[in-house]
Structure 1
């Protein structure tokens, strides 16, 4: 039995239209399935938590964007009992990029119904204040999170989605936010042992996948299945240089330049001298001075290939 969790409002209503095209295929092939539709923020988390509370194995297919994937993974009770498939129709689709999943919904469904392979993915865990939140792709503090916060309320995202240019949303907002951002001082502690101090930091991000923000390859060496987090810090450079680095980041070439620092670890603590925006998979978290990120002990099986 396949359980579909569908965000009908993903990409300005594209989610609902895509499901209308895919459901007849399931019926024609007599595929056993059930479908649930999200109606509000974090609804997918609540539904997934209820579905997976029975202690049984489940195959959950997510139709939406990275935010919907984030919500579903956040609600899974026992990661080792769940297999996830993904039909990507969001603005960024960084989760799909990492696994080279088909972007065409029909091909994505075909790959899910006849899996060629599976990957066993690490799941990130973010700690802030007295709360925890899972992430699949990344969690960051500073500039990248500010972009995510702005994207949630931006009319630009809606307009670009309607024009079929949704992937440019984050790049466009990035140029705008860089002008107004106040760089901060940060301390980054890797695996509780090595503490690094940085000044004039634009942002620090813990990456489980190589891509963030609609295709920025911030940590080119990141592997979602290797049991490690990749950390990137952008520090000590001018706004102009930061702007010039953004196009290089689509290819991962930004790591060759001074002011870009990358590390690998199992756990990272990030502390800023001022409260800064935080995100998990592009989903905003209230301003924080300090966050800690690590990986869940269990892995999640993902349909790939």
Structure 2
């Protein structure tokens, strides 16, 4: 009998029984039916077919309005470690991330169904994010998040001309056939004729300070926003830092000249960047506005006069689909 047990133990060492780790946690698919003009809701049949075929534990939940995803995720996370798939745009992802603020053992994945989907631009092979099998087989990695006056931001927070563009784009998206990058381009055209430049003051934990009239300001964890604009090509979502980029007020014609380079992420290479751009790589920023301004947090617009933005290093367990990886700065500049 002892010999049989001994042989069995050796076989187990040489040929270990591999358990499917996907079965070790529940999979929650958070569907925002309003995202992408109903695109997210169309994912339900494919999700159900794959998960049932694999015999994996899952739940599909369709949100009922703003804040519902956050409340649902917070409630279900209390049951133990789980993986939550945000099926929508950056706004849906933001709600899921905030719902898991006190649950670091839970994982977050993004299945894009919105119109901007800027956060996933920080990864290679973006098409894998729409592949249910690749998502379920993906590995979770620790990434940073920003704490903006206590609220989590996974991609970027910004104010000035750029946040006004986000607000204007949201209005334009209600027009038939106007969605995604087109809405943002049209928003820029609309706002170009309006007064630009806001009074702001900055102080970072590196001791750098600036004040004056600024055209736009981005506090970046990720590289992209606004449907593909790249204000922070040097940003990395896992380096424990945020990239602060504030562009001083310039004439409309000079601004028009910079838009193309700003979109590509090459504007910092312009000869005038040294005097026009206040920039720092830091972990904490204080910003004060002379008057109440609009702030965009992952695309959601809120008012502010004072901001404290802090990096929460490795604060989120984010699922990278099988076949994808983090984008490097050289990949952006090419």
Q: Quick check: TM above 0.5?
A: yes
Q: How does 1:1-305 map to 2 (within 5 A)?
A: 1-54=26-79, 56-100=80-124, 102-103=126-127, 106-107=130-131, 109-115=132-138, 117-127=139-149, 132-155=150-173, 158-161=176-179, 166-191=180-205, 193-199=207-213, 201-257=214-270, 258=272, 259-286=276-303, 288-296=304-312, 299-304=315-320, 305=324
- 1:186-207 superposed Cα distances (whole Å, 9 cap, x missing partner): 21111173221233x1111210
Q: Which 4+ runs in 1 deviate beyond 4 A? A: 155-158
Task: Give the C-alpha shift of residue 20 in structure 1.
Answer: 2.8
State how far apart, in whole Å, the 2-side matches of 1:158 and 1:227 are: 41
Output the CA distance in 2 between the equivalents of 1:143 and 1:51.
Answer: 38
Structure 2 CA distance for aligned equivalents of residues 105 and 298 of structure 1 = 21
Tell me, in whole angstroms, the C-alpha distance in 2 between the residues paired with 1:102 and 1:68. 18
Residue 106 of structure 1 and its aligned partner are, at CA, apart by 4.8
Write out per-residue CA displacement over residues 240-297 of structure 1, whole angstroms, 9 at most, x where no aligned residue: 22233222223211122322332111011112222211110010102x2221211225
Once residues 110 and 74 of structure 1 are traced to their aligned partners in structure 2, the CA distance between those partners, rounded to angstroms, is: 26
RMSD: 1.9
Question: For structure 2, which runs of at least 5 residues remain unmatched after alignment?
Answer: 1-25, 325-334
Structure whose alpha-carbon radius of gyration is higher: 2
The count of corresponding residues between Structure 1 and Structure 2 is 292
* Alignment partners' CA distance in 2, 1:62 and 1:47: 12
Give the conservation status (yes or no) of the 8 Å contact 1:210–1:223.
Answer: yes
CA contact (8 A) 2:240 2:312 kept: no
Give the TM-score of the pair, scaled to structure 1. Answer: 0.89
**Cα displacement string for residues 202-241 of structure 1 (whole angstroms, at most 9, x for unaligned residues):** 1112100011111111100000110001011111311222
What is the CA–CA distance in structure 2 between the aligned matches of 1:36 and 1:278, rounded to whole Å?
29
Residues 157, 144 of structure 1: CA spacing in aligned structure 2 closer, same or farther, 3 A cutoff?
farther
Structure 1 residue runs of 5 or longer lacking an equivalent are none
Flag the 1:195–1:149 CA change in 2: closer, same or farther, 3 A.
same
1:36-70 deviation per Cα after TM superposition (whole angstroms, max 9, x unaligned):
1111011111111112234x212111111001001
